[in-house]
Amino acid sequence: MARAIRSFELNTGAKIPSVGLGTWKAAPGVVGEAITAAIKAGYRHIDCAQRYGNEKEIGDVLKKLLEEGVVKREDLWITSKLWCTDHAPEDVPLALNRTLNDLKLDYVDLYLMHWPVRMKKGSVRFEPENLVETDIPSTWRAMEALYDAGKAQAIGVSNFSSKKLSDLLDMSRIPPAVDQVECHPSWQQPQLHAFCKSRGVHLSGYSPLGSSGQTTVKNEVFKNPILNLVAEKLGKTPAQVVLRWGLQMGHSVLPKSTNEERIKQNFDVFDWHIPEDLFARFSEFEQVKLITGTTFVDQTFGSYKTIEELWDGEI
């Protein structure tokens, strides 16, 4: 019988639900319906971020579902993220307060530093002159204070390489619980996976279906013949197979969809498994990173002159 893998235990002792609904690029007016459909389908994990610009609508829907008794707050796992313009230590608590007000919550279950990148306060556009030098230790200490205050039940990072995560672990009083990164069969992150496992940090995979919103045919995961072969043999959709692969790899997955049928399908990944022989075929996937963060790289401004510096060679 398949092991369900419904959650993973973090270094805080909390259990993060293994499948969450991603809300990046979920348009206003649509994201609320997606949240409602997901929670009614059984999802308990919603991945948000201030930068996505839709936390107010998500908050309205969560309030309604909680008031109607569809779900209890203690059964939900809500993640949000600190944007790059709010890295100054004095701005970190204000940013979380804005998120809590928008989401209409007293706390988030997980608060992540969205990127290891700092931008000028109040800047909106991704322009080189808006990039400034990072001071990750100072920002992290401010996040630790949010954990101490109970406003964030766990804290972590996103888009951190093994080296940046290692440096943070070495200086932190409260170690990051999660590193949320791009992870799918076409970008499997074996080095980061192994490092996270060795240091007790949970890896959470965004864009688990291999979509950047601008995917080319070359790296479109769903067109991979290996994936389609496995899906056919198991009688599952390619998306279900990709998500189940993630769970069996040991990381949580955050598929984004606003289509009710696909939202339900993407949650049907618990009562079956990919057998070892088919699972091994995933090592044959060509590796192509989709989200490279080129907008955070500049010869003059910010902390990173090259993509290699941003990812410390993990590219």
Q: Where in the sequence numbering do the catalytic residues fall?
A: 52
Give the DSSP per-residue string, 163-187.
HHHHHHHHH-SS--SEEEEE-BTTB
Q: Which residue has the tokens 């289509």?
A: 259
User: What is the radius of gyration, based on Cα positions, of the chain?
Assistant: 19
Return the HEC string of 122-159. Answer: CCCCCCHHHEECCCHHHHHHHHHHHHHCCCECCEEEEC
Rounded Cα distance between 231 and 216, Å, is: 21
Rounded Cα distance between 6 and 269, Å, is: 9
- How many other C-beta atoms can be found within 10 angstroms of the C-beta atom of residue 90? 9
Q: Which residues contact 307 (CB under 8 A, 6 or more apart)?
A: 292, 293, 294, 297, 315
Rounded Cα distance between 81 and 51, Å, is: 8
What do you get for the CA distance between the two ends of the chain, in Å?
Answer: 37
Q: Which residue has the tokens 């993509």?
A: 307
Residue 286 per-residue DSSP state: P
Rounded Cα distance between 77 and 20, Å, is: 9
